[in-house]
Amino acid sequence: MPSPKPTNTKPLLTVVDLECIRGDNLLFSGLNFSLYEGQLMQVEGANGSGKTSLLRILAGLSRSSEGQVLWDGEDILKQRAVYFAQVAYLGHTLGVKTDLSPLENLKIALALASIPFDEVAVFRALELTGLAGKEDVPARSLSAGQKQRVALARLLVCPAKLWIMDEPFTALDVSGVSLVRDLLENHLQRGNMAVLTSHQAVEVRGDVVRVNLSDG
Amino acid sequence: MLQAFNAMMKRDLLLAFRHRGELANPLLFFFMIVTLFPLGVSPEVVLLRKIAPGVIWIAALLAALFSLESLFRSDFEDGALEQMLLSPQPLSVLVLAKVLAHWLVSGLPMLLLAPLLGLLLAMPERAIAALELTLAIGTPLLSLIGAIGVALTVGLRRGGVLLTLLIMPLYIPVLIFATNAVTAAAAGMPIAGQIYFLASLLVLALTLAPLAIAAALRISVS
């Protein structure tokens, strides 16, 4: 299916002259790109090329040494509350409390996003991510892949315009990988955006743009 | 905002409750230091009465520092801290909720145990009352100040020593005013001055510490 051309001519996420230095290493510099509604950006590059650093800068967790990240034309660091309400970040550390059950984890995530708790939606998200029947067991007793599914369920219950995902396929089994792909395709079709890094060659249908950090 | 504050506090209380075994550690530490003094120094009533305010307060201070170290540790390791940072809620409100929850499970039990320890060290009644008052104002103050240091050092592998160096100088005024108040009360002197000073420090910490903790966490996580 050919992807519809972005109707909104103004990109929502724009990166201007981004540079990132870690220690004495220049990871990337002069990075420029824009992301329109309905687009997915796949960040590629060798190990240590700064993929995670880029994602953390985009999420507003780290600061770039140079350049800006603009959301709707304004620097994200100047509108944290507005930006964070529209962004969901799924990093290497999942942010799933292992002493709490998946249900409790989602409850706290909803409270932090100031979204009222909707039991039906939460249980549907848990079911969709394959956690039906595991709602009330401590996440400690879940496998790595299942913990990742809890984090995915969090993405589902907290609607965000932009998903930033660092290696979302790592711990997942075959059905998990296709689950993430389906979620992403759905997400894009509704006019949302995503940025992700992945070593697995997972083809996500839709408007995919690629940026390669190893090219310098 | 209030809802997020409540949810955060409830989450931390729940997590503390799931680790009941660890809850007793700081309290036990507090109890042990104080009870070892009569054994180690001298069981003489006059001496014990004289050193009691200092002993109990130093023990409370060390127990607070000891228990605070893990305040952000688990959240930092499992990524929950990142999610907190990325919440549209003001981070300072969330950290205040965390500090309050921490105080409820570590500071408040010390407050309840302190009169008993006061009796153990032969403190007069009015001094015990003053001790309670200073601890009631002082332990939240210790938690708030300490949390700034913890937030700054959470990203470091061995931040324990650095934490002590950072925080101890800030704890000293609290210790001086609190023990001075208890000693004065034991001698039958008014203690309003010291209490007002501690209370003003608490107000200052309540308003400014959450902002400092939030800023420190953003630095530690980036």
What's the whole-model pTM score?
0.90
Domain edges within chain B: 2-221
Rounded distance between C-alpha atoms, residue A119 and residue A122, angstroms: 5
Q: pLDDT grade, residue A7 (50/70/90)?
A: low
Q: Alpha helices, DSSP H only, in B19-124?
A: 20-40, 45-68, 73-78, 80-85, 91-120
User: Is some CB atom of chain A closer than 8 A to the CB atom of B157?
Assistant: no
Predicted confidence at residue A2, as pLDDT, reads: 46
| pLDDT tens, residue by residue, A15-36 | 989 888 888 888 888 888 889 9
Predicted confidence at residue A8, as pLDDT, reads: 54
Collect all residues with Cβ–Cβ distance below 8 Å to A182 and sequence separation of at least 6.
none
Q: pLDDT grade, residue B119 (50/70/90)?
A: very high
State residue A14 phi and psi, 5-degree precision.
Answer: -130, 135
Contact A40, A194 (CB under 8 A): yes
Instruction: Give the closest residue to B176 by CA, choosing from B125, B141, B124.
Output: B141
Stretch B184-189: mean pLDDT: 92
| pLDDT tens, residue by residue, A131-169 | 888 888 998 899 888 999 999 999 889 888 999 999 888
Stretch A114-143: mean pLDDT: 88
Predicted-complex ipTM score = 0.86
| pLDDT tens, residue by residue, A55-108 | 999 999 988 888 889 998 889 988 888 999 899 999 888 889 989 999 999 999
B89 chain-A contacts, CB cut-off 8 A: 81, 112, 114
| pLDDT tens, residue by residue, B151-161 | 999 988 887 88
Do the chains contact at A99 and B19, CB–CB below 8 Å?
yes
Q: Is the pLDDT of residue B22 over 70?
A: yes
| pLDDT tens, residue by residue, A37-69 | 888 998 888 888 888 899 999 999 988 888 889
Rounded distance between C-alpha atoms, residue A195 and residue A43, angstroms: 7
Predicted confidence at residue A1, as pLDDT, reads: 41
Do the chains contact at A113 and B87, CB–CB below 8 Å?
yes
CA distance B121 to chain A (A): 40
B222 chain-A contacts, CB cut-off 8 A: 56, 61-63
- Residue of chain A with shortest Cα separation from B79: A95
Instruction: Give the closest residue to B2 by CA, choosing from B90, B72, B77.
Output: B90
Q: Is the pLDDT of residue B145 over 90?
A: yes
Predicted confidence at residue B132, as pLDDT, reads: 95
Instruction: Give the closest residue to A111 by CA, choosing from B140, B142, B9, B121.
Output: B9
Do the chains contact at B14 and A84, CB–CB below 8 Å?
no
